[in-house]
Amino acid sequence: MMMKRIKKYLSYIELEALMWLVALLFLFFINPYETQHFTLCPYKNIGIDFCPGCGIGKSISFLFHFDLVNSIKNHPLGIFGLFVITYRIFYLLKRKYIKQNKNEVVYG
């Protein structure tokens, strides 16, 4: 019974869109000016300073704090990354809800 309810509620949520939204919220609330932070990056954890992916998150965080100069310094593709992620979220939500609306029958 409980599993049916959970499946029903999960059917309303687009999981990938939710994950992207949570990631963007995390980047909004972190302090990009900190020098030390927890990371899952294998390059950083073994001591390699350059990682092409690490700066994008910090760059997006700088964008959320309206610091365009540091955003571009951290990673020049941060602005583009934010647009791609935002587009992906809207695409996933639109696809899910437009698809559900097409299957509905309107009587009237």
For the chain, what are the domain ranges? 41-101
With bands split at pLDDT 50, 70 and 90, how would you rate the model's confidence at 108? very low
- Which pLDDT score is estimated for 106? 47
Average predicted confidence (pLDDT) for the chain: 82
Segment (H or E) for 12: none
| Contact (Cβ atoms closer than 8 angstroms) between residue 34 and residue 61 | no
List alpha helices for 1-108, DSSP H: 2-11, 15-29, 42-46, 54-64, 68-74, 78-103
The pTM (predicted TM-score) of the whole model is: 0.72
**Residue-wise pLDDT tens digits, 61-80:** 999 999 999 999 988 999 99
- Which pLDDT score is estimated for 68? 94
